[in-house]
Amino acid sequence: MRSIVLTALFFSFLTTVHSQSQVSFVESFSNISESNGIIEIELTISEPVSDDAQISVEVIDPSTANETHFTFAGETLNFAAGSSGVIVLSIPILDNFSDDPEVFFTLSLSNPVNCTIGSGKTHFAFIQDDENFVISPSNTVSLDFLNSYTVDAGGSAEIVAYDPSSQHLFVLNSVATRVNVLDFHDPSNITEIGFIDMSSFGIGATSVAVSNGLVAATVQGADYGPGTVVFFDVDGQFINSLQVGVLPDMIVFTPDGKSVLIANEGEPAMDYVVDPEGSVSRIDINGDASILSQEDVITIDFQGFNDQKEALISAGVRIFGLNSSVSQDLEPEYITVSQDGLKAWVSLQENNALAELDLTTNEIVSIIPFGLKDHSLPENVIDVSDRNDEIFLANWNLKGMYMPDAIANYTIGGTTYVVTANEGDQREYGVIDEDVQVKSNSYVLDPVAFPSGDLLKKDQLLGRLVVSPYSGDTDGDGDFDEIHAFGARSFSIWNSETHELVYDSGSDFERITSLDSEFGGLFNANNTSNGIKNRSDNKGPEPEGVTVSQIGGRFYAFITLERVGGVMTYDVSNPESPIFVDYDNSRTIDGAGGDLGPEGIIYISTNQSPMGVGLVVVANEISSTVSVFAVSNNTACFADFDSSGMVDSGDFLFLLGSYGCASDCGDADLTEDGQITIDDVLVFLSSVGANCGGVLGAN
């Protein structure tokens, strides 16, 4: 048995008999690094005890720490008559010298004799792991910040599209109901050409896309009426307009530019008196948008799933609108189209599901639930409270709903994968309001699943976490057997054929941002202030946008983080094992400035770039800015086999000499697949001309 150390800081001895003294913890929680060795926790005796007194301190649930983290089996504290003031409880903390999720334990006061327990009955001790789980960037490509341009100081910038023929950027400005047109000939000196006023077509602009010199933008209709797609040329001259579904939230061209698809979200009225159907509109342009008529608009709805409501709910699709049918409840958010133009996938964000669209028949063929992310697993640690002073990435008995906003796709090895930015977005429609915290009195935790639920509801634990009151009651008895939080704070890769989750970035985003040398002090900050952790209780960094592009023979995913800001870059060439490449952020650390609230993101390839180098362009909603990054392909010089400082013919001869190698192929194996094939030749050709003695070329 160890002997606990009690240090009396102040004792008062009085002969007068007082009312019974209260013993309390001074603070409700404390933080300590495991390398500190000792945690000191203060208790207070409110006034001199009238007689010899005692109280027990014990470890109770919820606690995730165990005997490998600290040494304390519980103690009975004895106080002589007349004792009062503050005492210090010292508990040894053990350093296990390994990368582990952070843990905590809960102390509770009990069994008082000749005293009472005051308001501070419990204390949470949070133990920070000092072996930081560092995810090192590969830097195979790097994003070099070039410029930030303010689109409209009183407006917004949510979606950006680029036309290579005119070298114009088109930026959706929903606040002003317009599309701003920018001259992008010189990305370091962007200027405005003008804007396309959308106000005569509806009450709020929602999306914009461009292909083959044709601009298509969407606008919401008034009073839950049909929305409108408006076509312009790249100089902003009106061509045509057509009605589509209710609340067209996103528009995209097919890769060949011959059709547009529109995700019609169909959100309900706040009182659900009106609840439009969600749908997808398709318009085949056939070369001349000016001759299009309303008959050319194809509406693809979900009515064929109305009789499958219970089966979809059982499978995990979130359908819970007020007396809503399946087709009314589903809310299409974003669309990505396969490269061959035969399929499209539609994110149903609020429903935590993905719809697959057959473009040969114009039918929704399946609705696939994304499922839940288990935050009790070591790879899925999460920071859940904005009321703990320190970053605390720990495991919890809760599940995240992926609920992606933007999605993208790419094909490798004959398989197409769907990539999702797992934002999470709760419904707040008045009669259906998901903005509920765990500590809410209406959110009752099941006593079997959460035996210490009353303490989990404390602010420093799960109390302030925003969760859904419309899922998690798995047995239908009125309380919650599972806690379902919004979003997964990650990006994921899904096999489009099997619908299986191939990869999820786990806790990468929070780990990377927490340890960032420049922006770590803005961990889980909002996009309107620089307060650290003020989004920990609600979706964290909030991944919003994603695009996937092939650069130098490899595939890269670029993901925007709407709250803390910046772009995460991953090499996704191996879908089962992506590699973190880089994190870049262009907001300011002194006050909430710079580029805030990144949403839409595009990649401009070398052959379409006005600079001759690849560019990443981001639309930042809150700051109403467009930020531009030059992409340097640092892998190009892997092909400089002879270290001449240039990728040239000498290196090509070396590669040809290794062609056909089937194992242990050395440096010539540029694709790192264990053999030298035509794929390595293609990667090499994309690297030819790279200057490896100076600034690297971009591809």
Instruction: Give the DSSP letter string of 640-651.
Output: -TT-SSB--HHH
Residue 28's identity, in one-letter code, is: S
- Give the phi and the psi of residue 112 in degrees, each rounded to 5: -75, 140
Token pair for residue 147? 């410029």
Is residue 54 within 8 A of residue 79, CB to CB? The reply is yes
What does the alpha-carbon distance between residue 266 and residue 289 come to, in Å, rounded to a whole number? Answer: 25
Contacts of 20 (CB under 8 A, 6+ apart): 50, 114, 115, 116
Token pair for residue 29? 């929680």
What does the alpha-carbon distance between residue 217 and residue 221 come to, in Å, rounded to a whole number? Answer: 13
pTM of this prediction exceeds 0.75 = yes
pLDDT for 455: 98
What does the alpha-carbon distance between residue 144 and residue 81 come to, in Å, rounded to a whole number? Answer: 69
What does the alpha-carbon distance between residue 323 and residue 340 come to, in Å, rounded to a whole number? Answer: 39
Under DSSP, the state recorded for 21 is: P
Contacts of 151 (CB under 8 A, 6+ apart): 157, 171, 173, 180, 182, 192, 624, 625, 626
- Total length of the chain: 699
What does the alpha-carbon distance between residue 360 and residue 254 come to, in Å, rounded to a whole number? Answer: 13
- CA neighbor of 627 nearest in space, from 596, 605, 590: 596
Judged on CB neighbours under 10 Å (0-12, 13-18, 19+), 608 is middle
Is residue 525 within 8 A of residue 535, CB to CB? The reply is yes
Is residue 597 within 8 A of residue 541, CB to CB? The reply is no
What rounded mean pLDDT belongs to the chain? 93
Decide: helix, strand or coil at residue 482: coil
E strand or H helix that includes residue 227: strand 226-233
E strand or H helix that includes residue 311: helix 309-315
Q: Which residues of the chain have pLDDT under 70?
A: 1-19, 635-636, 690-699
Under DSSP, the state recorded for 676 is: -
567, β-bridge pairs? 560, 584
**Radius of gyration for the alpha carbons in the chain, expressed in angstroms and rounded:** 29
Is residue 135 within 8 A of residue 570, CB to CB? The reply is no
pLDDT for 449: 98
Token pair for residue 472? 């998690």
Decide: helix, strand or coil at residue 44: strand
- Give the phi and the psi of residue 40 in degrees, each rounded to 5: -110, 120
78, β-bridge pairs? 54
Is residue 310 within 8 A of residue 320, CB to CB? The reply is no
Considering all CA atoms of the chain, what is the largest pairwise distance in Å, rounded to the nearest integer?
100
pLDDT single digits (tens) 52-96: 999 999 999 999 999 999 999 999 999 999 999 999 999 999 998
- CA neighbor of 71 nearest in space, from 89, 98, 44: 89
Angle of CA points 101, 420, 212, to nearest 5°:
150
E strand or H helix that includes residue 574: none
**How many other CB atoms sit within 10 Å of the CB of residue 166?**
19
615, β-bridge pairs? 604, 630
Decide: helix, strand or coil at residue 454: helix
Residue 599's identity, in one-letter code, is: E
What does the alpha-carbon distance between residue 569 and residue 578 come to, in Å, rounded to a whole number? Answer: 10
- Antiparallel, parallel or unpaired: β 248-253 and 238-246: unpaired
- Give the phi and the psi of residue 639 in degrees, each rounded to 5: -90, 0
Q: Which residue has the tokens 């194996």?
A: 669
pLDDT for 640: 80
Under DSSP, the state recorded for 433 is: B
